[in-house]
Structure formats: structure tokens, C-alpha cells
Amino acid sequence: MSLLVAGCAGVKTQPTVAGTTPETVTQGETPQTTPPAQPGDVIIAEPIPKPIESTNNAVIALLDRAKLDLGAGQREAAGASLERALRIEPRNPWLWYELAQLRLAQGQYAQAVSLSHKSISFAGRDKSLQALNWRLVGNARIAQGNPNGAEQAFKRATDLEQSLSVKGLD
């Protein structure tokens, strides 16, 4: 059950990723600290501006659709929409991150980890997105029963977040 919560948390906190634009990244909004949201919360209630996941309207439409599907509990359909988006922008690290979150929610932890790594591989110097991915890896590892691995991943996420906030203060 705790695995499921961890998994769900990973997905549900996604929209709260405050600003994944480097200047506004805040700490504390980490998947493992966010209280589990209720079903349906996925799409609604986003007080903080979302990161720009894509500039392509087709991709944005598919992301919206994936989120709607997810809200309706249709994870397979959400996955299909994300894959459609990935066919349009196969190198968009946000889409890989979204898919990683979905796999985490589906309980496919190994896939979640691999997809996060893939997102990182396309993230370039985007440290905030890298941090999000490491957090996701941490959550997946907890679910896999690998607390040490999880700790390392969370540490990497924290380091990345700190390096960003230090930069932000400059």
C-alpha cells in the first residue's frame, strides 16, 4: 500500500513542480513530502505556474489529454497519448519525465527509473528537471525496496536543487 501511495505521489505532485524554471524552483515540494492527493486532483488545483513542457501545440494538446485520461483513471490511454507526443518530440525530456511518472503510478518501477534516466539524458543542463527525475528515481527505488539507492537519488536531487537556489541568490 505504501508503494502505491509513493507511486501515486510521484504522479500527482507533478503539476506542483513549481517552477521548473531555474529561478523559481523551491525546495520542499518533493514527491516524498507531498501528502497523497485525492484521485482527480491531478489536473485541477495548480496555483503555481507550470513549466513550459513544450512549445508545440500538438504536444501540449496530447499532454492535456494524457492528464485528463489520468484523472479519469485511464492510465493505459494516458500512456498512449504520451507516446503519441513522444513521436512528435522524441527528444523532449519533459515527455520522458511524464512517462516515467506514469510508469511509477502503474507500479512499473524499473521502467520508471529507466525513463527518468532517459529524461535526464535529454535534459542537458536543466538542473531542475534533473532534480525532479532523481526524486522520481528515489521514489521508485523505495518502492523497489532499495532504500540506500533511494537515498542516493534523493541526495542527488537535493544537491541539484541547492545548486539552483544558490545560483538564484547570486
Partner 1 sequence: MKITVLLTTFWNKTRIIWNKIYPILNFKSRGKVLRLLALSLLLGLSVYIFYLDSSIREAFDGRKFALPARVYGRALEMYVGLKLTPAQFVDELKALSYHENPEPNEAASYKFTANGVEFTTRDFAFWDGPQPSQRLRVEFADGKVTLLQERGTPDKDIPLLRIEPPIIGGIYPGHNEDRALLKLNQVPKPLIDALISVEDHKFYSHWGVDPRGIARALFKTISGQRIEGGSTLTQQLVKNFFLTSERSLTRKANEVLMSLLLELHYSKDEILETYINEIFLGQDATRAIHGFGLASYFYFDRPLDRLELHEIATLVGMVKGPAVYDPRKKPDLVLQRRNVVLQEMVRLNVITQAQFVVARQKPLGVVYRAPSGTSPYPAFLQLVHRQLQRDYREQDLRSEGLRIFTTLDTRIQHLAEQALALRLGQIEKARKIPANTLEGAVVISSTQTGEIQAVVGGREARYAGFNRAIDARRQIGSLAKPIVYLTALENPGRYTLVTQLDDSPLVWKQRGTTDWKPKNYDNKFHDTVQLRTALAHSYNVSTARLGIDLGIDTILDKLPKFGIERRPPPFASSLLGAFELSPMEVTQLYQTIADGGFRTPLRAIREIVTAEGKPLQRYPLNVEQVAQPAPVYLLTAALQGVVREGTAQSMTNWLPEELHVAGKTGTTDDLRDTWFAGYTGDHVAVVWVGRDDNKSTGLTGASGAMTVWGEMMKNIQPEPLQPVVPEDIELVNVDPLTGLRNSEDCKSAMLMPFIKGSVPTEISPCTIATATPPKVEDKPVVKTEVKAERKPESKPEVKEEGKKNWLQRLFN
Task: Kindly tell me which residue out of 10, 15, 31, 79 binds partner 1, with binding defined by CB under 8 A.
Answer: 79
What's the min distance (Å) between Cβ of 2 and partner 1? 25
Site for partner 1 in 18-77 (CB under 8 A): 56-58, 60-62, 76-77
What's the min distance (Å) between Cβ of 61 and partner 1? 4
d(CA 89, CA 62): 11
Determine the size of the site formed for partner 1 (CB under 8 A): 30
CA distances from 60 to 12, 66, 81, 106 (A): 18, 10, 11, 22
Cβ proximity to partner 1: between 26 and 111 the closer is: 111
CA distances from 145 to 84, 91, 117, 148 (A): 32, 31, 19, 9
What's the min distance (Å) between Cβ of 78 and partner 1? 10
d(CA 85, CA 92): 9
Residue 3 contacts partner 1 per CB under 8 A: no
Cβ proximity to partner 1: between 9 and 102 the closer is: 102
What's the min distance (Å) between Cβ of 86 and partner 1? 6
Of 170, 162, 169, 112, nearest in space to 142 by CA: 112
Query: CB atoms < 10 A from the CB of 102, how many?
Result: 26
Residue 124 contacts partner 1 per CB under 8 A: yes
Residue 99 contacts partner 1 per CB under 8 A: yes
d(CA 135, CA 103): 14
Task: Kindly tell me which residue out of 27, 87, 145, 151 binds partner 1, with binding defined by CB under 8 A.
Answer: 87
DSSP state of 106: T
Query: CB atoms < 10 A from the CB of 156, how many?
Result: 18
User: Which residues of this chain interact with partner 1, rule CB under 8 A?
Assistant: 56-58, 60-62, 76-77, 79-81, 83-84, 86-88, 90-91, 99, 110-111, 114-115, 117-118, 121-125
